[in-house]
């Protein structure tokens, strides 16, 4: 991607005529990202714009976002330079290769009380830190499907990192998703909210809860998996196109390995297995200690990290 391409931030800068711009707006295409994700054939039919014009525009939008071919070396440099959000624990950060990465879906899975929700709270705070302190200097979206979000924890964690609590809470856009359809609709809405509000992190806690409740049992497994795959695809393209970190949680049984093979068990290990991203297993240990382990990530070392959950948030053990 050349310097010049990088600078293009809006549709206007692509030199689109106002007539076409208006037609695109009518179908909700108001950003470079939305245009890059559009299908020129479909648009051409719906908007009565010549196909070659749209193909050119979509290609320009994709080029502006760096979505064309790149060399492996460019890819390596790009991955290495991706900003990361600190978890509050150096141990956990280094396990993750520096922290929770943008353009990536990170899944925290583990049994109840393993610290998934606490980590989500901490990241919603830490994303707001300036880059030199391990944040992105950006805001957070928190999609809560289980009603376990607590502003009191945000307040305490904000104090813990020396940020002004009210300011931090003002920068977290919270939504309680009431069912899986709502959860998916909310993610669609983020395409407008992310650029408008300078969002750097999207949390979905938990990503699987509604789907399990709505599609119980073996007979619904295929339908559930299909819909969940669509949701995950939504989240993956959100991360990649909109340059945000996506963090999802997934409750699993204490010993998933014991239940492998039985599809009726609520084992997240199966559910999200084929989605790209980083999967982190959390386990309870003595007292407030928790153990994190990376699963299925060939580029990261097979090791463990120990962190603690304290009154002021996620930290390294003393
Ligand atoms: P489920 O959503 O039930 O699957 O669990 P989870 O993995 O989301 O667990 P969560 O992150 O809610 O962790 C709960 C644990 O965090 C509790 O058991 C406490 O150990 C710890 N915790 C929560 N709030 C506080 C607090 O204010 N102070 C301290 N010191 N620990 C807390
Ligand atoms: Mg939780």
Q: Quick: pLDDT tens for 37-58.
A: 899 999 998 898 999 999 999 9
CATH of domain 78-315: 3.40.50.300
pLDDT digits (tens, 9 = 90+) for 203-213: 999 999 999 89
Q: Is residue 217 pLDDT above 90, yes or no?
A: no
Neighbouring residues of the ion ligand 2, judged by CB less than 5 Å: 116-117, 148
Residue 253: which pLDDT band, with cuts at 50, 70 and 90? low
Q: What is the mean pLDDT of residues 141-159?
A: 98
Q: What is the mean pLDDT of residues 155-167?
A: 98
113 lines ligand 1 (CB under 6 A): yes
Tell which atom from ligand 1 comes closest to the C-alpha of 119. Answer: 11
pLDDT digits (tens, 9 = 90+) for 305-316: 999 999 999 999
209 alpha carbon – ligand 1 mean position (Å): 17
pLDDT digits (tens, 9 = 90+) for 270-298: 456 666 688 899 999 999 999 999 987 76
Instruction: Pick from 109, 111, 115, 284 the residue to mutate for probing ligand 1's pocket: most ligand atoms within 8 Å of its CB.
Output: 115
Q: Is residue 255 pLDDT above 70, yes or no?
A: no
116 lines ligand 1 (CB under 6 A): yes
Residue 2: which pLDDT band, with cuts at 50, 70 and 90? very low
Q: Is residue 268 pLDDT above 80, yes or no?
A: no
pLDDT of 172 = 98
pLDDT of 100 = 97
Tell which atom from ligand 1 comes closest to the C-alpha of 115. Answer: 11
31 lines ligand 1 (CB under 6 A): no
Q: What is the mean pLDDT of residues 82-98?
A: 95
Q: Is residue 261 pLDDT above 50, yes or no?
A: no
Residue 93: which pLDDT band, with cuts at 50, 70 and 90? very high
Residues in contact with 187: Cβ distance below 8 Å, sequence separation at least 6, in sequence order: 143, 202, 204, 231, 234, 235, 238
Domain boundaries, the chain: 3-64, 78-315
Q: Greater confidence, 301 or 154?
A: 154
pLDDT of 254 = 56
Q: Is residue 83 pLDDT above 80, yes or no?
A: yes
72 phi and psi angles, rounded to 5 deg: -60, -35
What is the domain class of 3-64 according to CATH?
mainly alpha
pTM here?
0.86
Q: What is the mean pLDDT of residues 88-96?
A: 96
Q: Greater confidence, 34 or 175?
A: 175
Q: Greater confidence, 2 or 31?
A: 31
**Ligand whose nearest atom lies closest to the CA of 283:** 1
117 lines ligand 1 (CB under 6 A): yes
Lowest mean pLDDT among 91-95, 252-256, 274-278: 252-256
Residue 15: which pLDDT band, with cuts at 50, 70 and 90? confident
pLDDT of 259 = 47
């Amino acid at each position: 991607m050349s310097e010049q391409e990088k600078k293009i931030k809006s549709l206007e800068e692509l030199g689109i005529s106002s007539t076409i711009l208006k037609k695109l707006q009518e179908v909700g295409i108001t950003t470079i990202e939305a245009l890059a994700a559009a299908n020129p054939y479909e648009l051409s039919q719906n908007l009565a714009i010549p196909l070659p014009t749209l193909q050119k525009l979509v290609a320009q939008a994709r080029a502006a976002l760096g979505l064309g071919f790149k060399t492996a070396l460019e890819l390596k440099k790009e991955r290495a330079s991706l900003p990361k959000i600190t978890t509050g624990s150096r141990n956990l950060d280094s396990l993750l290769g520096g922290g929770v990465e943008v353009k990536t879906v990170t899944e925290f899975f583990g049994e109840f009380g393993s610290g998934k929700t606490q980590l989500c709270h901490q990241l919603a705070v830490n994303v707001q830190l300036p880059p030199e302190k391990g944040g992105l200097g950006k805001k957070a979206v928190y999609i809560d499907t289980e009603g376990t979000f607590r502003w009191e924890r945000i307040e305490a964690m904000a104090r813990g990192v020396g940020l002004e609590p009210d300011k931090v809470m003002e920068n977290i856009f919270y939504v309680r998703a009431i069912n899986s359809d709502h959860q998916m609709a909310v993610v669609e809405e983020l395409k407008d909210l992310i650029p408008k509000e300078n969002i750097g992190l999207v949390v979905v806690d938990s990503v699987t809860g509604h789907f399990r409740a709505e599609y119980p049992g073996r007979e619904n497994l295929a339908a559930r998996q299909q819909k969940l795959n669509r949701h995950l695809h939504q989240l993956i393209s959100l991360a990649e196109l909109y340059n945000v970190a996506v963090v999802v949680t997934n409750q699993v049984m204490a010993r998933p390995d014991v239940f492998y093979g039985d599809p009726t068990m609520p084992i997240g290990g199966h559910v999200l297995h084929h989605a790209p991203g980083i999967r982190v297993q959390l386990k309870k240990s003595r007292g407030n200690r928790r153990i994190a382990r990376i699963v299925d990530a060939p580029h990261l070392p097979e090791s463990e990290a120990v962190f603690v959950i304290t009154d002021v948030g996620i930290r390294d053990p003393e």
